[in-house]
Amino acid sequence: MYTSEDILLVDKPAGWTSFDVVAKIRGRIRAEYITCDIKPTKKQLKVGHAGTLDPFATGLLVILLGDACKKAGEFLKLDKQYEFTAKLGEVSTTGDPEGEITKADTNTHDPTEEQILEALKQFEGEITQVPPAFSAIKINGTRAYKLAREGKEVEIPPRQVTVSRLELISYDYPYLKCRCDVSSGTYIRTLAEGIAKQLGTGAYCTELRRTRIGSYSTEGATAIDKIV
């Protein structure tokens, strides 16, 4: 059973890695102990997170303190909610703004809103995804993104994930904004690319925000500048 002292909900800003947030909070805890002239133990400085967020992404990051770190796996299995914006007609090597961006090979028309809504329907329910090469998945003990950055070929097996809800928030070509509820292991960058392919074009995520993990949401999260 967790208490509020075991868990810290952080609203991560863009540009921060999940490790940056963990390191900042650990530093803040260390500083508070030192201020009280107390040398903190390893257990008191133990800080982890329950599910990473890409640096360009914002939103909910569940920070675990002390013994709660042992239960990180339980959080990783929880369903999640995201809001994302995709730019149609262009593609990125990483699926996000951090990659090399080029025009899509197939970009013969501007999809109508009706076509968008029909495409979204194709991705509701259980679907098959191939996670992106630039991901934290381990391939023979090495993170896939490290191999990809070295120019090595990365082969990641497809996986079954569930999209329980996928709805359109707004559409003003070339920008498409959606909200989705997904199972653990779903890659939103890949989802955006799949939607674009269904529309006969390409896309990449320009913005990504995680708003919920299980029963935890950004409504109860604290901005990092309020913590550190």
- The torsion angle over the Cα atoms of residues 128, 146, 75 and 163, rounded to 10 degrees, is -20
Q: Which one, of 181, 189, 220, lies nearest residue 78 by Cα?
A: 181
Kindly tell me the burial class for residue 94, based on how many C-beta atoms sit within 10 Å of its own C-beta (0-12, 13-18, 19 or more). Answer: buried
- The catalytic site residues sit at 54
User: Which of residues 145 and 225 earns the better pLDDT score?
Assistant: 225
User: Which of residues 74 and 2 earns the better pLDDT score?
Assistant: 74
Residue 190's pLDDT band, with cuts at 50, 70 and 90, is very high
Q: What percent of the chain has pLDDT over 70?
A: 90
Find out whether 130 and 185 touch, Cβ atoms under 8 Å. Answer: no
What is residue 223's three-state secondary structure? strand
What is the H or E stretch that residue 207 is in?
strand 203-213
pTM over 0.75: yes
The span from the CA of 101 to the CA of 82, in Å, is 23
CATH class of residue range 80-213: alpha beta
Q: Which one, of 129, 199, 147, lies nearest residue 168 by Cα?
A: 199
Please write the tens of the pLDDT for every residue from 46-66: 999 988 899 999 999 999 998
Q: Domain-by-domain residue ranges, the chain?
A: 7-77+215-226, 80-213
Q: What is the pLDDT of residue 166?
A: 98
Q: Do domains 7-77+215-226 and 80-213 have the same CATH topology?
A: yes
> What CATH number has the domain spanning 7-77+215-226?
3.30.2350.10
What backbone phi and psi angles, to 5 degrees, belong to 194?
A: -65, -40
